Structures are given as structure tokens and as C-alpha cells.
Amino acid sequence: MPNRATAHRTADELSRDLVARGLQAARDAIETEAAAVSALADRLDGVFLDVLTAVAGCEGHLVVTGLGKSGLVGRKIAATLASTGTPATFIHSGDALHGDSGAVTARDLVLALSASGETAEVCAFARMLRDREIPVIAMTGNEESTLARLATYTLDTMVLKEADPLNLAPTASTTASLAMGDALACALVVLREFSHHDFARFHPSGALGKRLLGDEA
């Protein structure tokens, strides 16, 4: 356990070798995540088009779900979709198993995130949805996983490795999921012919809202 003195060492107090290794790890992380995102472009195939068509035609909400880091990414994806014209909301997979699944209706679609595709709560929620004949879109790095088998569609977000030096922390995988979510949102902006005026109506407050509304004045 580091004491107060060692916990706040300055860069000057660290060995040059350790600092150099830390900086290289930072560069490697950025390069690894950039490569993971770039690889997604070749996966925007027929399945992505099917997902795009399904979401655009959804009469209800796109309900996004996940757990842990994938859940945090899912919240951001839902927020981005909602702010760009696609009715979307987030339900935590754990909460879904304790009653919140009742918020999902037959008119909805569900986007379920799990890098491994084996997250117990996410898979249990997906199984409940399948039993209710509600389509599930899996976003996972394992197309042979339990979640992928339960899903109607599977968006492949596989990464060759995580960006951290231990190859353990969700880093490149969460970045890939976030990028895939943004890709879906951007495509839907085009399909819905979502305009600057529409965006301004959804963002009346803050610096962005003031700028957009000022442009329309």
C-alpha cells in the first residue's frame, strides 16, 4: 500500500526509464484503439444494414442494455441516439432482472452490449426478451457467444487485444463498441434526414444550443 509520500511522486522523482515506459504505453494505447476502430469499417456489411433498417423502422424505442464498462458505453450510445432523432433509452441489465424489463414493449428493439457475449445478466435479459419475441441486437466481440446465439442480429466489435499493458482492462473493446454505436447513430441521421433545425430543437440549452438557435435567428 503506497504511503502519502510515494503516492504523490512527481515526474522528476520517477526514474527516467519508468517515465519512458509509461509514455510508450500511452502511445501504444492510442495506436491500439485507433486500429481497433479502423477495423470496424470493413464490418459494416449486410448485418449492419439489417440492423440499420430494423432500428429505422422501429415503432417504439431502441432500448440499450449492458453491465459494467459496457453498460457505461451503452448509456452513451443511447444518449447519442436520442439526441439525433432515434428514440432510445438505457436499462441496466441487472435492474432488468429485477423488474425493469417490464419497461420493454413489443414495439421496441433491444441493443445488448457485452464484449465477451457471456455476461450472465445481459444473457439472462436477452433470453427473457427472446421468450417475449422482442428482437435483440447483440454488440459483442464474440460471434459464437451465448448472447450472439440469443440475438436476432449481431454487430461484431471484436478487437485483437485490449489497449492496456496487461491486455485485461476494457479499453480497445469499449472504444470499438462506442465507435460502432456512433456509426449506427450517424447512419440513422442520414436515413431520418435529421437536420440542423431538428438538432437545435433537441438542444435548446448550453453553448451548443445557443449557437444553433443563434444560427437559425
Q: Which residues, 6+ apart, have CB-to-CB distance to 191 below 8 Å?
A: 52, 56
Q: How many Å apart are CA 190 and CA 39, to the nearest integer? A: 22
- With beta carbons less than 8 A apart as the criterion, state whether 80 and 74 touch: no
Set of cell numbers at residue 175: 472504444
Residue 216 lies in a domain: no
Q: Residue 164 in 3-state DSSP?
A: coil
Element (H, E) at 198: helix 196-202
Report how many domains make up the chain. 1
Residue 209 lies in a domain: no
pTM of the model: 0.89
- With beta carbons less than 8 A apart as the criterion, state whether 51 and 184 touch: yes
What pLDDT is recorded for position 213? Answer: 67
Q: How many Å apart are CA 139 and CA 73, to the nearest integer? A: 11
What pLDDT is recorded for position 140? Answer: 98
In single-letter form, the type of residue at position 58 comes to C
Residue 3 lies in a domain: no
What pLDDT is recorded for position 58? Answer: 97
Residue 174 lies in a domain: yes
What's 132's domain CATH number? 3.40.50.10490
Spell out a b/e string for 156-180, using b for 16 or more CB atoms within 10 Å of the CB, else e.
bbebeebbeeeeeebbbbbbbbbbb
Set of cell numbers at residue 206: 448550453
Residue 88 lies in a domain: yes
Residue 46 lies in a domain: yes
- With beta carbons less than 8 A apart as the criterion, state whether 74 and 113 touch: yes
Residues of the chain with pLDDT under 70: 1-13, 213-217
Q: How many Å apart are CA 210 and CA 190, to the nearest integer? A: 24
What pLDDT is recorded for position 4? Answer: 53
Residue 76 lies in a domain: yes
| Per-residue three-class SS string for 74-95 | HHHHHHHHHHCCCCEEEEEHHH
Task: Tell me how crowded residue 2 is: count the other CB atoms within 10 A of its CB.
Answer: 8
- Domain containing 57: what range? 19-162+170-202
Residue 5 lies in a domain: no
Q: Residue 3 in 3-state DSSP?
A: coil
